[in-house]
Structure 1
Amino acid sequence: MDFCGWVNNPPPDSGVEWDWFSGESEGLFAPSQDHSTGSSLGHFAIFSSQDDFHSGKVAQLESETMDAVERACLEIWHFAEGFGAQQKPSDITLTVFLSVGGELRPLLNTSGFGNNSWIPDRVDYSASGPHQIILQANCPESEVGSFSVDDVHIIRGRSCDETGLTTTLTPPTTTPAGPSSDMDCTFEEGWCRWIQEVGDDADWARHTGLQVDDPWNGPRFDHTVGNNQGFFLLLNGSGLKDGERAAVSVPAVSLESQSCVEFWFYMLGPSVSSLDLLLQTNSSELLVWTLHGTQNPEWTSARVTIHTNDSFKITLAGHRNTQSWGFIAVDDVTVRGGACSNQNVCGFDSDSCGFDNSVSQRGLWGRRKGGEHHGDHTYGTEQGFYMTVFSSNSRQPEVADLLSPAFSSSSEMCVRFWYWLPADSSNSLSVHVQRDGEPGDALWRRPGSPSTGWEVAEVTVSSPARFYVVFRAVHVPGTSDSVKIDDVSFKSGACSPAGSCDFESGQCTWVNIHKDGGHQWVVANGGSHGPPTDHTTDTPEGQFLLSLSRQHGSVAQVVSEWVQEKETSCFTLWYHMETSDSGTLRVFTRSGPSDQTLVFHSNSSGSRWSRFSQTLNSTNLFQLLVEAESKSSGFIAVDDISLTPGVCKQNETTSGFEGCSFENGTCGWEDVSSGQFKWERGRNATGSAGPPVDNTLGTEEGWYMAVEPHRGEHVSAALLQSPLSREASSTCTLHFYHNTYGEGRCGGASAPLLLALTPD
């Protein structure tokens, strides 16, 4: 056990200690990987409350005694988990104390956040004499969960503002089994045997994070050593013409008939083109793997099995256009003999990963290689494999059940997979749990309109006894195409609700739609051209979706997974628009690519995070689509999208000033008129009674507040009063839309609209 000099010293009435765990340790709420190495082999300190003995207890971890310091920065990474703690603060709290001369002074108090990721906290402090830092975890009575800490650093002589984070946000290099080859390269000492292709339109550059001055010009850290001094290959910026290509290649020497090429890539920006892996043979150049567009803001591994009978060169090619904005980076290339093994995700490219057909059904699943017009999802080319239902000579619809390997855990698991439904609407795909010979009721089902590409879905499964996850396809005879699935993965814990995402760990099940001449939504944080903080954590490190384009009228679209049938649900979205010139934000529900209904649109948020909520009524499957259309300048950001059962709450307010669209009520705004002239909530009016459409939805279904005309004989003021708002800053901006119509009694314009601030 290695606590690096830190010592357990629990209070006398507690007796509970911090444990030293790794991702491979047994524990209900233990993280699957540490923060330092980003792997299951790395260690961390954990306080876990899994039973009544630990509930209501306190654990303390004390540092060594350190000398006095005028200023220092304490940095700590933490990870929280627990029942019901997903996407919200945890029940267990961590308090960091400074102990000087026997006196304790709290420096930091946090509850963490259950978003399945390591979160940093930093605080400045000073000590007039010898001192210690104390980490105290406190679990309330009857609560269960865990709180883990890692990478505790004390930077003496500098404030937190004067130094960046000292630890990497990315996992280290993982080396595949087998001896190294002449084709391997980390780019730390140069280009190894890789060379720039002659005659290309552009070149890759060998870069470090120190040379990156903008978050969309390159990664802050390399992948090999995980800091800003490590090297990687980089292609960024825009090209002088469309279709520019930059390629590096290495001679393919001493290869087996099958080899595994692994490399790490980082692709980020609103207009990123594509990265390709190619094989040069004696007769042609074969595209083996390709990826297009912005990805999650992290280093990601690609593992590709290549067949090398007559290959003499391996090539990595990046592409960019005149409107490109962003970067493509590559690091840590390795080549090993033999096919790639399946790791956390099963892409079916080497084998079936333990999946098998059910003997109780006539239909059969099997591995199939991609075709000319239908690549798999893993490789994106016809060289990859997926699972599909084989056609038969039967004249009756056939059911095919594909069973996963057996699971014995009683905890909830999240199953994530990609699928493709054929054009015939009679085909369907569903997910079940099988425990005693027969699958149970469908936990997820996708009938209806055909897929326009690979689509993603997540479903939560659990069982008190040993079970299988079943993918059931109904195949209609006479159709030339059938259901396909690819890239299946399982992780502990329940999935996020369909359509919901806080973007702290990526895009969840929201997928960018590629549009010619458009741009893409990017997962960004407070330093990436958008708002200074996200909405979820209200910190610069928190993440959100960001739309930003240099082209007027450029459109970015992102779509959710299909939402299962719900009679009524509440859709909520937080949005932030820099200025009224940022463009237009729209939200649609859709039941197919050409069948969509506008739910919300806005041209401004008042330069702050604003909330929109709308009750949705649907008995059919639907998707949510968020669209941003750029204007002359500024950004559009969205965060904390949620879809919850039931109607949206009316008159719901927060501690700060809350905007109101009046779609679900008046949000606490009320008429306080003393005369006969009054404000009323209305819609779809005509003439002087009000506009036919509102501003929020732009349709006759939208609501607004209006003054009822021709009411009363005496002139009086109609007063609409907001809920009581706490002071937010020394200056605030009130942003609203208004619509006036008609003439006054004296033949002039309509009655004036006046604003007044009333102190509490």
Structure 2
Amino acid sequence: MAVESLRFEGIRGSNSYGDIAIDDVSITSSTCAVKPSAANPAFTSPTPPAGLSTTPAPFVKQSDFDCDFEKDTCTWTQAKDDIFDWNRAQGPTGTSFTGPTNDHTTQSRKGWYMYIETSAPRVVNDTARLVSKTALANQQYCLQFWYHMYGSHVNQLGVYIKVGATLGTPVWKKGTSLGNKWNFAEYQIPTQKSQFNIVFEGVRGPGYKGDIGLDDVKVLSGLCPSTVQIACDFEDSKLCGWTQDKTDSFDWSRNRGSTGSNFTGPAADHTLGTSKGFYMYIETSSRGTGQMARLISPSVGSADAKCMKFYYNMYGSNIGTLNVLMKTGVNNNQTLWSKSKNQGQNWVVGLASLLPNTVPYQVVFEAVTDYGYRGDIAIDDVSVFDGPCEAQVLSTLENFDFKCYCLSFYYHMYGQSMGTLKIRIEGTVGSNYQGDIAIDDIVFTSAIIFEGVAGTSFQGDIALDDVRLSDGACTGSSDYNTKCKFEDHNICGYTQDQSDDFDWTWQAGQTSSSLTGPSSDHSYGTRFGHYMYLESSGQHANATARLDSPEYQNSDGKLSITPKLQ
């Protein structure tokens, strides 16, 4: 199998107003759903699937509550007990770097929307409320709307169910800037015993760059037709309506940064990838085997199949099991997805098909402990899409019946003139950046070659340590059958290539050049532990040093490199 790479090339325009951005790149084993104008139709599907169109769907008014604000505010009115009013506007707001630049309905500057203007004389925590007409008691309602929260001073948008003169607490809220885009929200309003009003409240933040927009409000009779309200990134302390089960053994915890135990749990959340982002996890310290923690979604309903996407982290030597269940009654739980044991240090994507159901249901994340404290399980970034989950590369590879090995190693690349570290197996070369490579069906007798390429100066030392080869796909497990810590001067049978430009060096402590290379080994983290490195002093640019492994035998008869999926 050929090793290939993709390249994103951005070309600067004629001035500084030409920034280009990309995000969330994924590769799936299927044809492309959306055809660029220059695409080869032989390799693309004939029509894009539902949900990928960039053309806004027309706004269809179905009730007296519905409003796209194109002509007026419909049946929505300004509250009399707040500090200031919502504004009806089109195009950008009066302040740069905050608020919408167009409405949601028409996605143009000609369309109208509502927003709060947070410039003076507004001060922090000033509120503006928009109130619906009165809704009937003992009825089911689904609230849908689009909102825009962009600016460094954005505070909060909240939704209230006001009964009589009592506003209460928000039943839905969002805080902080979400970028210059419209976002969809949906909330299933619990059946009320009394008549009520729906209230949108915008709260001013610490500065003038805090404009919040609102558009295309709809109130549907009955259950919400989609499962959007399952979606959650857990940045909100209310957990988007997810609740702890009262009948399980213990609770899930909301956390940021690393968990309280070493060598288990994530180092950061998935949403932000930093110590400031939140996620949900189970703390397995002082827990026995088989204890359960369940996190339950709000009640939703859909007669159509949906796909729930989420990210999970199952890292540690004592990992138990994570299940996704569909709950349609007190004791009626159907397992939709399950994963057990150590899955590595990184966040991994999970997909669970939500089956069509004519009655309301809830989704449950159930974590079951194993024995030991290194068993923390975490989840983050739950989202829902229309249609069943398609066959992904992840599930396809899990179902293959082949012989597979995992090569794992630690490397150190520090210096201003860094070269390249490559792995070579039977002539196939793949650059490595994460330290995990899955090696599938090695041809007869094959050698693994570590190739170091010198940079442009002496500050380009590269080090290698703790090389391990194990049966099976890369999972982060420490149960390896072939490993090398390079503590023995025989270096586990690894040999210097005789056809390269220079050799790797067996070293302990700091390398001979300052401001480059490691100061200790990885195995023990001390200056007495040994590792392999290439000394770039005295070498010309692109000089190559190769370290060859012992031969590993297998008779399956083919060679391929399978990247580890994250």
TM-score computed with the length of structure 2 as normaliser: 0.46
TM-score computed with the length of structure 1 as normaliser: 0.36
Higher strand share: 1
Which gives a bigger RCO, structure 1 or 2 (Cα 8 Å, sep 6+)?
2
